[in-house]
Structure 1
Amino acid sequence: MTIEFLLTSLVVVLLPGTGVIYTLAVGLGRGFKASVAAAFGCTMGILPAAIASIVGLSALLHTSALAFQVIKYLGVVYLFYMAWNILKDGGAMDVKEEKTSKSYGKIAVTGTLINVLNPKLSLFFLAFLPQFISANSSNVTMDLVSLALVFMAMTFAVFVIYGAFAAAARDYVISRPNVMNWIKRSFAGAFGFLGLKLAFSD
């Protein structure tokens, strides 16, 4: 494992995407513990893509337009659903001072689905991980597994930090409903934009 892999992975993880947006939304709406559940779910959502790239299944998405399109549009529908869920009363970002009824398990499952239904994640791993495998490696499979696990650990750590910052701003947001409404529209718009971006991807 090289410093180049660690630095490149950190840059990729830090870039705002659906997982980051979801973790921030949950941190603002539900607090820190819920944001940790969201971060865990998003990290677990990486696992299928990592496994697919390691065993070569992601090559199917690369070569089969139909397979890619099916998963892509499932992802698009889910992102649009997330946008609607943020805006509705009692949705993912319904910030209230009392405890919410949504379990940490459901929050984690939602985070997992966000990444599972993103076919570009499999293609990313297919293109990303092999670059950091030594030509002299005696066990390529184990090297790929190690890189994927490090990437997932880094994702979880960074997302927890994002969630902590969002949760820290929670009290400020609760006391200012107009600010929360603006934030909710911004997050919903971000999910809608990411859905449209995925819909038009090849």
Structure 2
Amino acid sequence: MLELQTVLMFIGASTLLALAPGPDILFVLTQSMSKGSRSGMVIALGLCSGLVFHTTAVALGVAVIFQSSELAFTLLKLFGAGYLLYLAWMAFRDASRSKLNLDKTPLALSALYRRGILMNITNPKVSIFFLAFLPQFTNPALGSVTVQIFSLGALFMLCALSVFTLVSLLAGKLGAWFSKTPYGERILNYLAGTVFTALAVKLVFTSK
């Protein structure tokens, strides 16, 4: 059982970390602006669901593999970068279709949810971050450290989901206004594609 003071400190730290500029919040921001608040919130839910993977990895010690094995770390980050480039290509494609006034079929919410999960779990630095961050708030004298890790992971997910939901709502309203302007939808898609490409390049050159 975690102490109240520890829980409050952890919630404060987690909220600030979720607010810090990073791949996840940029992903939510760009997707909410280009596809709407509801899509952004579904992606946020997917991103936070992906944190279950990283929490489990830390609790079971699997995250140590990504920290100690250069090959495992490199393979996962390259897969993640490839996925981001795929998203960038789709965003640029949608921008081109907007220009030609072609009909676009919106992604199903389930597809957006899976996109969020995949985006999160293919970033090995999240597991390494959790490996360094979560144990700092555990206390073996209070019971099972594994249970405490899962409890802290769940709290982090709630904090991140709250922040991402707020970002989705605000970005969605901004995107809705912007898309009504001439070429607004094209610009939003180009912006999303550029952000995805930049995140992919950043991930490729990320080191442990």
- Give the structure-2-normalised TM-score: 0.86
Q: Is the 8 A contact 1:21 1:187 kept in 2?
A: no
Contact 1:30 1:100 in 2 (8 A): no
Aligned to 1:177: 182
User: Is 1:118 the counterpart of 2:123 in the alignment?
Assistant: yes
Q: 1:100 to 1:158 in 2, by over 3 A?
A: farther
Match of 1:69 in 2: 74
Aligned-residue identity in percent:
29
Asked if 1:53 corresponds to 2:58, the answer is: yes
What is the correspondence of 1:157-196 to structure 2 with a 5 Å cutoff? Answer: 157-196=162-201
Shift of 1:73: 0.6
Equivalent position of 1:148 in the other structure: 153
Shift of 1:37: 1.0
Point out the structure with the larger helix share.
Answer: 2
Structure-1 residue corresponding to 2:27 = 22
* Structure 1 residues without counterparts, runs of 5 or longer: none
TM-score by length of 1: 0.89
The 2-side partners of 1:180 and 1:201 are apart by: 31
How much does 1:170 deviate?
A: 3.1
Q: Distance in 2 between matches of 1:187 and 1:90?
A: 10
Match status 1:87 vs 2:92:
yes
CA gap of 1:182–1:174, structure 2 versus 1, over 3 A, is closer
The residue type paired with residue 75 of structure 2 is: V
| 1:35 aligned partner | 40
Against the structure 1 CA distance between its residues 2 and 71, is the aligned structure 2 distance closer, same or farther, given a 3 Å change threshold? Answer: same
CA distance in 2, matches of 1:150, 1:99: 38
The alpha-carbon deviation at position 131 of structure 1 amounts to: 0.8
Instruction: List 4+ stretches of structure 1 deviating above 6 A.
Output: none
Q: CA deviation at 1:90?
A: 6.9
Let me know the Cα RMSD of the aligned residues.
2.3
- Residue equivalent to 2:10: 5
What CA deviation, in whole Å up to 9, does each residue of 1:62-102 have, x standing for no partner?
111111111011011111112222111279x99x9x99432
Q: Point out the more displaced range, 156-165 or 136-145.
A: 136-145
The 8 Å contact of residues 92 and 193 in structure 2, kept in 1 or not, is answered as: yes
Aligned length in residues: 199
